[in-house]
């Protein structure tokens, strides 16, 4: 009886040992990494931050540490890993969207996302996006949302930045001025729109899109869209000479 139990114990131990050897064998070594969801951050940077190579075992790949390293880049808000045995790893990243610039001082720009988070600081802008002017703040921290005492100005900034992106106007906006939150001004090249506050913001942006389609290039004009009730958008436009 004891001999039979001993044989069964030996057999189970042998199976367990063989299983462990198999799990740690080159059969599960990483042979392919598929990265998706990246735009601002390069595929090469994401792969480098994985710190994985062809001797990395997919089963025991440390996802927590890799996620932490990848998200050190503030343009990335989240990472999802999926294993496909025996040796494939899918990496899906979710990026924050660069929405606007805030000129912190002459020649110094804060790069912010849709929610007012500072992603980085540079001495020049990198792509056509609105520059936010008129914000009053005394300090900022990279990776944190701007601490702006005037929450109305902050909300106007983020809301209109999101709207111009949603309506495919973001590359045409040059400035959003929130110095006076009751007279918010959005500049598209030579055309300035006074949109007032957040009231009817969506409708105002739709009117702006329609007006811009009709205004010839290089024409200087101003438009008062503070109150759009009962009027047609084009009636607010004044051509400057």
Domains and CATH numbers, the chain: 2-95 (3.10.20.310), 98-239 (3.40.50)
All residues at 6 or more sequence positions from 211 whose CB lies less than 8 Å from its CB, including other chains: 191, 223, 233, 234, 237
pLDDT at 137: 86
Answer whether residue 233 shows pLDDT above 50.
Answer: no
Look up the pTM and report it.
Answer: 0.82
CA-CA distances (angstroms) from residue 166 to 15, 77, 161, 195, 233? 59, 20, 9, 17, 20
pLDDT band at 157 (very low <50, low <70, confident <90, very high): very high
More confident residue, 107 or 131: 131
In the predicted model, what is the mean pLDDT of the chain?
87
Mean pLDDT in residue range 109-126: 93
pLDDT band at 49 (very low <50, low <70, confident <90, very high): very high
All residues at 6 or more sequence positions from 97 whose CB lies less than 8 Å from its CB, including other chains: 113, 114, 165
């Amino acid at each position: 009886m004891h001999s039979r139990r001993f044989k069964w114990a030996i057999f189970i131990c042998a199976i367990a040992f063989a299983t462990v050897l198999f799990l740690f064998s080159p059969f599960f070594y990483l042979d392919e990494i598929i990265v998706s969801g990246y735009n601002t951050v390069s595929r090469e940077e994401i792969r480098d931050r994985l710190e994985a190579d062809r001797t990395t075992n997919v089963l025991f790949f440390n996802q927590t540490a890799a996620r932490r390293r990848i998200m050190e880049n503030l343009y990335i808000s989240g990472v999802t890993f999926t294993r496909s045995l025996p040796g494939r790893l899918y990496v899906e990243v979710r990026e924050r969207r660069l929405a606007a610039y805030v000129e912190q001082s002459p020649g110094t720009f804060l790069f912010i996302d849709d929610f007012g988070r500072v992603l980085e600081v540079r001495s020049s802008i990198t792509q056509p996006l609105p520059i936010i002017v008129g914000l009053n703040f005394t300090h900022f921290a990279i990776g944190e949302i701007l601490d702006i005492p005037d929450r109305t100005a902050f909300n106007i900034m983020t809301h209109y930045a999101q709207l111009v992106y949603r309506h495919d106007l973001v590359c045409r906006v040059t400035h959003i001025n929130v110095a006076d939150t009751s007279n918010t001004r959005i500049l598209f090249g030579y055309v300035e729109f006074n949109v007032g506050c957040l009231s009817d913001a969506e409708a105002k942006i739709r009117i702006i899109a329609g007006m811009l389609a009709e205004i010839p290039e290089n024409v200087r004009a101003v438009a008062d869209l503070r109150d759009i009730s009962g009027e047609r958008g084009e009636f607010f436009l004044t051509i400057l000479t």
